[in-house]
Structures are given as C-alpha cells and as structure tokens.
C-alpha cells in the first residue's frame, strides 16, 4: 500500500478512528502527526469500544507499528494512562509503539492557562487539555521537548526558566498561586523514566521504513476547519490538521506521501464555539444528535449538528489535495423526509461560493441550499453500494459531483463491518 494521509474534512469527529482501523491491516506503520489528547478516535469492534486520544488507532491491530510524531503534543500522564487502558483490554504495545524525542510536553501550567483563558467571556470552547498553551510555547521557543525531559540538566534548566515566567503570570495576572519547581520536577522525571523505552528519533525510523518500502498511514486528528491556518480562525485548534501537517509533524517529506483521503460525515458537526453556517434549529439538532450519538469522545460535550456544507468540504478538498472521499454516518439521515446540501453563502447581498476568510461573513451568512428527497429506509444493514436506496445513492452522487472528487467508501454504522466501497 502507498503512504496515505487520512484526515477529517470538516470540524473533527468525522469517523477517523473507524476509517484508520479499516485501512490499518494494509499498512505497516500508523502515525499521529499533530494535536494531542484533545482528539478522541473511536474504534468499535463487535461489543468492544475503544477511544484513543494520543496513540494511533492502528494499535488495535497487533502486528502494526504505531508512531507518535514530532508534531504531536504529549501529556505524559495521558500517554501512560492510555497504555494502561489498552493493556487492560488485552492490547500490548511494547516493542511497537514509538514516541518522538522532538514532541513537546504538556505541563499542568499549560492546562491551567487553557482553563483560565476559557473562563473568560470570549472563549473558544477548547478541550482544556493544555493544547493551545503548549503549542504557544513551542512557537515561542520556550517549550520542553521529550528529549529535554529525559536529560536531567536540560530539564531542570528549562523547567526553572518556564516556571520563573509562568508563575509571574499566575500570581500577577490571575491572582493565583504558581507551581512548585520541586513537585513538578519530581512528577515529570518519574513520567520520563516510564516513557523512556518508547522514545526514539521517529524521523529516522519513518524514513528508514520508507527506504525499506514499508507503507505508512498518517492519522489526522481534529479536522481541516479546525486547522490553525485553514480553519475558522480563531475558533480552531493550535496545530495543522491539514495534509501539510503530516509532513511537518513526522519529518517525512511531501514527495514521500502518495495519497490524501478526506473523511466527511454525511452531515456536519462541530464541538465548541465558532461559526457554523448550516447548524440545525432545535428540533433537527435534537433528532440528529440522538440518532448519531453526537457527544464528544473526549469531553462528553453535546456536538452541534447541521446540514452537509459543500463550501466547507470543497475547501478541504483544495487545501489538503484530497484524492478520495470517505462518507460516514449516512445511516444517521435515514429517517429524514428531505435533506439539504449547502452550496453557497449569502452575506450583505453578496454570494460566496468559496470559503470566506472573514469571520464576520461566516458568522452572519445565510446558507443557500439544494434540497434532495430522503430515502426513509434503514441503511445500517446495507453491505454494498448497489443495495443502497435510490435516494441515498442520489445524495452521494450529488455530493461527489459538487466536490468533483471520488467517494470511495461509505459507512453506515460504527462497526467495522458497516462499511462498503462505492
Ligand atoms: P473521530 O474523532 O473522527 O475518530 O470520530 P469520533 O470517534 O470522535 O466520532 C465518531 C463517532 O461516530 C464514533 O462514536 C463512531 O463509533 C461513530 N461512527 C463512525 N462511523 C459511523 C457511521 O457510519 N454511522 C454511525 N451511526 N456511527 C458512526
Ligand atoms: P478529533 O481528532 C472535534 C475543538 C474543540 C475546540 C477547538 C480548540 O476527535 O476529531 P483545543 O482543545 O484543541 O485547543 O480546542 O477544537 N477540538 C475538536 N473538535 N474533534 C476533535 O478531535 C477536536 N479536538 C479539538 O472543541 O472547539
Ligand atoms: Mg473525535
């Protein structure tokens, strides 16, 4: 199999966990390249449900090597807890899980800063996992990397430097106590000892694998519209969730990546604040949220739901160079009389057919819809495209036509088996 990036084409939770799990048997390596434990990727295998936050979803396939790349931010406690969770469920990670020595470490002060910022009126609706403040330190060049954590002298020096600055902010701006060097040093040194065996130069590991003709699956986290550059800024996460992030976040050059697959739900969801032009009104919101079980896999928050937005997914196809599309959760639309697709936005008399950068346009625009008849049939037991109801096929055909991109796979339930090719 070639080297493939699989990523979310909307605002996250498109079903990346499920799709990665389906592609994993054909790959040798499965790699996370950005984000952190703000992600929640669900894989359902029979009666068992696994939610992975930091470890690639390919870990459930026992022979596969999983890598957490340099672009990911690591909460070491969350990392160790996830390994324990997998162990309890009979999944052994030893010898096939690697963590980049260049990945940045999330500290309690990052989480605290995330919480404090979120307590303000103008909030983003983050997962409060410390993701934004950790990436901010990375870009400010004051971050602490895994390699630093494992070197006593470097770690002491960097932690001291960070606390000297952060504690002033906590004391003077937020009027709260700061963090004790000794306690943090002790806690994180102990994590360092436990994670050391997973740590290596993953850039070398992956490029060596490519030389040996191994295939790599790059597992995106979040979604394109949450990308810090290409999303609904500032209502985004703090990393590059787009395909370019796969290269930056792993040290695998773009010429070594063969294909990009985008995942889109048959409708749209988002968690947290920020513009959402096709968001449902109360009645449909309740129905779709219930049927699609749209509650966050990381925070449990109810997800906001809306119609399929072609402006959004078309933007994703472009900025990611998406070759093929996977449509998930088609079954969630089974009961609807008619289904809408947004094809343009109207704002102050102007029609927008491409994704606007101005947040005021996104917040105030009126979506222009096409309406297609629903199929009113249960699709959860359908096992081939041929057997889908005619109106479901028409809906997918219309999406494919609007996106000018091939739909290759359709998902009609959370189980591995509820998936078929188009
Ligand atoms: P991810 O973050 O992109 O991996 O997605 P999440 O795991 O956060 O959310 C997707 C949810 O939808 C999970 O609960 C999946 O088990 C579920 N799911 C995935 N595909 C389908 C589908 O085709 N139909 C239904 N009904 N549920 C699905
Ligand atoms: P997966 O990988 C959906 C959202 C948060 C918030 C914004 C910023 O499961 O699709 P952050 O904590 O990252 O600073 O929050 O991004 N967000 C997600 N929404 N799925 C995710 O991950 C998300 N990860 C972050 O809700 O709006
Ligand atoms: Mg998720």
What b-and-e string marks burial along 305-317, b requiring 16 or more CB atoms within 10 Å of the CB? Answer: bbbbbbbbbbbbb
pLDDT value at residue 310: 98
Question: Which ranges of 212-309 does DSSP label H, i.e. alpha helix?
Answer: 244-248, 282-291
Mean local confidence (pLDDT), 302-311 = 98
Which ligand 2 atom is nearest residue 131's CA?
Answer: 14
Residue of 5, 14, 15 with the most ligand 1 atoms within 8 Å of its CB, for mutation: 15
DSSP-derived secondary structure for 127-178? --SSHHHHHHHHHTT---BHHHHTSHHHHHHHHHHHHHHHHHIIIIIS----
* Shortest-distance ligand to the CA of residue 44: 1
Residue range 4-100+199-260 forms a domain whose CATH class is alpha beta
127 CA distance to ligand 3 middle (Å) = 11
pTM of the model: 0.97
Whether 315 is a known active-site residue: answer: no
Mean local confidence (pLDDT), 367-383 = 98
The answer to whether the CB of 272 is under 6 A from ligand 2 is yes
Mean local confidence (pLDDT), 343-351 = 98
pLDDT value at residue 367: 98
The answer to whether the CB of 110 is under 6 A from ligand 2 is no
328 CA distance to ligand 1 middle (Å) = 8
Whether residue 249 contacts residue 56, with contact meaning beta carbons closer than 8 Å, is answered with no
Structure tokens at 75: 């909460």
Q: Whose CA is nearest to atom 13 of ligand 2?
A: 237
The answer to whether the CB of 364 is under 6 A from ligand 2 is no
Long-range residue pairs from 392-399, CB within 8 A, at least 24 positions apart, any chain: 392/330, 395/266, 395/330, 395/333, 395/339, 396/327, 396/330, 396/422, 398/341, 398/370, 398/372, 399/264, 399/308, 399/310, 399/313, 399/325, 399/327, 399/341
Strands 419-421 and 29-32, by their bridges, are unpaired
Q: Which CATH number fits domain 264-421: 3.90.170.10, 3.30.565.10, 1.10.3720.10, 3.40.50.2000?
A: 3.90.170.10
Confidence of residue 274 (pLDDT cuts 50, 70, 90): very high
CATH architecture for segment(s) 104-194:
Orthogonal Bundle (1.10)
The answer to whether the CB of 224 is under 6 A from ligand 2 is no
313 CA distance to ligand 3 middle (Å) = 18
Neighbours of 171 (CB within 10 A): 12
pLDDT value at residue 1: 81
pLDDT value at residue 305: 98
Whether residue 267 has pLDDT greater than 90: yes
What is the SS3 assignment for 72? strand
Structure tokens at 251: 């040290």
What is the SS3 assignment for 183? helix
Long-range residue pairs from 133-142, CB within 8 A, at least 24 positions apart, any chain: 133/109, 134/36, 134/73, 134/104, 134/105, 134/106, 134/107, 134/110, 134/238, 135/73, 135/104, 135/238, 135/239, 136/238, 137/104, 137/110, 137/162, 138/73, 138/104
Q: Whose CA is nearest to atom 9 of ligand 1?
A: 13
Strands 406-411 and 419-421, by their bridges, are antiparallel
**4-100+199-260 and 264-421 share one CATH topology?**
no
% of the chain with per-residue pLDDT over 70: 100
Confidence of residue 297 (pLDDT cuts 50, 70, 90): confident
The answer to whether the CB of 237 is under 6 A from ligand 2 is yes
The answer to whether the CB of 269 is under 6 A from ligand 2 is no
Domain spans in the chain, listed from the N-terminal domain onward: 4-100+199-260, 104-194, 264-421
Q: Whose CA is nearest to atom 15 of ligand 2?
A: 126
Residue of 21, 41, 104, 309 marked active site: 41
Q: Whose CA is nearest to atom 23 of ligand 2?
A: 222
Q: Quick: pLDDT tens for 156-201.
A: 999 999 999 999 999 999 999 999 999 999 999 999 999 999 999 9
Taking the C-alpha atoms of residue 371 and residue 86, their distance in angstroms, rounded to an integer, is: 44
Whether 13 is a known active-site residue: answer: yes
13 CA distance to ligand 3 middle (Å) = 4
Omega prior to 234 cis, within 30 of 0: yes
178 CA distance to ligand 3 middle (Å) = 32
* Shortest-distance ligand to the CA of residue 299: 2
Which ligand 1 atom is nearest residue 298's CA?
Answer: 8
Structure tokens at 417: 């088996």
What is the SS3 assignment for 51? strand
pLDDT value at residue 298: 86
């Amino acid at each position: 199999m070639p080297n493939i990036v699989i990523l979310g084409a909307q605002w996250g939770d498109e079903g990346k966990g499920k799709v990665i799990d389906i592609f994993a048997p054909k790959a040798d390596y499965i790699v996370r390249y950005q984000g952190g434990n703000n992600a929640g990727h669900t894989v359902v295998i029979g009666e068992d449900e696994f939610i992975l936050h930091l470890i690639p979803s390919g870990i459930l396939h026992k022979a596969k090597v999983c890598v957490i790349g340099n672009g990911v931010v690591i909460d070491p406690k969350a990392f160790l807890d996830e390994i324990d969770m997998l162990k309890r469920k009979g999944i052994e990670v030893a010898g096939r899980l690697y963590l980049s020595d260049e990945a940045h470490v999330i500290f309690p002060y990052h989480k605290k800063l995330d919480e404090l910022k979120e307590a303000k009126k103008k909030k983003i609706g983050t997962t409060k996992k410390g993701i934004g403040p950790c990436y901010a330190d990375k870009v400010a060049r004051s971050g602490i990397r895994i390699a630093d954590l494992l070197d006593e002298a470097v770690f002491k020096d960097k932690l001291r430097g960070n606390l000297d600055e952060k504690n002033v902010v906590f004391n003077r701006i937020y009027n709260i106590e700061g963090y004790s060097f000794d306690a943090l040093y002790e806690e994180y040194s102990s994590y360092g000892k436990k994670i050391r065996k997973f740590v290596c130069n993953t850039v070398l590991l992956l490029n060596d694998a490519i030389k040996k003709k191994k295939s790599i699956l790059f597992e995106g986290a979040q979604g394109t519209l949450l990308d810090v550059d290409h999303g609904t800024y500032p209502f985004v996460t703090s990393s590059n969730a787009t395909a370019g992030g796969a290269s930056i976040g792993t040290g695998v050059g773009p010429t070594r990546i063969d294909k990009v697959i985008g995942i889109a739900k048959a409708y749209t969801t988002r968690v947290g604040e920020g513009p959402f032009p096709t968001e449902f009104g109360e009645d449909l919101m309740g129905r779709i949220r219930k049927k699609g079980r749209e509650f966050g896999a990381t925070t449990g928050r109810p997800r906001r739901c809306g119609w399929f937005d072609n402006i959004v997914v078309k933007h994703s196809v472009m900025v990611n160079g998406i070759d093929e599309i996977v449509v998930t959760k088609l079954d969630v639309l089974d009961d609807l009389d008619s289904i809408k697709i947004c094809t343009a936005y109207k704002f102050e008399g102007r029609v927008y057919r491409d994704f606007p950068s101005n947040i005021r346009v996104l917040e105030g625009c009126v979506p222009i819809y096409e309406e297609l008849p629903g199929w009113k049939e249960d699709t959860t037991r359908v096992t081939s495209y041929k057997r889908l109801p005619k109106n479901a096929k028409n809906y997918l055909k219309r999406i494919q036509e609007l996106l000018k991109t091939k739909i290759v796979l359709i998902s009609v339930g959370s189980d591995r088996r509820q998936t078929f090719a188009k």
